[in-house]
Amino acid sequence: MQRMTLAAMAATATLFLAACAQPARSPMAQAQQEANRQTVLAFYEKGLNQKDADAALQYVGNRYVQHNPTAADGPEGFRKFIGFLREKFPKSRNDIKRSFVDGDYVILHVNSVREPGTRGSAIVDIFKLENGKIVEHWDVVQPVPETAANKHGMF
């Protein structure tokens, strides 16, 4: 009979605890998460790509807390931002590269190009939903550089 080393026992315990820490999602919870993803994707398409604030706001709850320091809270803050895009960058396009869902949070990894032919920016948008509606938003924006120190790309 082989004896487990202390390191092997620690590794086994760590894997066991990690597996226990990840609660199994019920089919209903998985369906709600997918519904949350679809809500955010529709909001993004209507608002950021089609620049139709009213159509996008149907996906927003009775509050919309904005954590981007350059954007105002609420539906009017969102309308103002979409109006800015429509006026200054009418051909802007946002290409969602990947999306992630964790409970009531949906995270998007986006290539946002305000002017066709430019590299644009890499954006990570985080949305919090309550009762199937978007109620909070955070984002982190980084310009896509002309050259990189590696060959992996940002997307």
Q: Find out whether 55 and 39 touch, Cβ atoms under 8 Å.
A: no
Q: pLDDT 10s per residue in the chain (155 long)?
A: 455 455 544 555 554 445 455 566 788 899 999 999 999 999 999 999 999 999 999 999 999 999 999 999 999 999 999 999 999 999 999 999 999 999 999 999 999 999 999 999 999 999 999 999 999 999 999 999 999 999 999 99
In the chain, the amino acid numbered 128 is K
Domain at 26-143: CATH code:
3.10.450.50
**Hey, where are the domains in the chain?**
26-143
Q: Find out whether 141 and 126 touch, Cβ atoms under 8 Å.
A: no
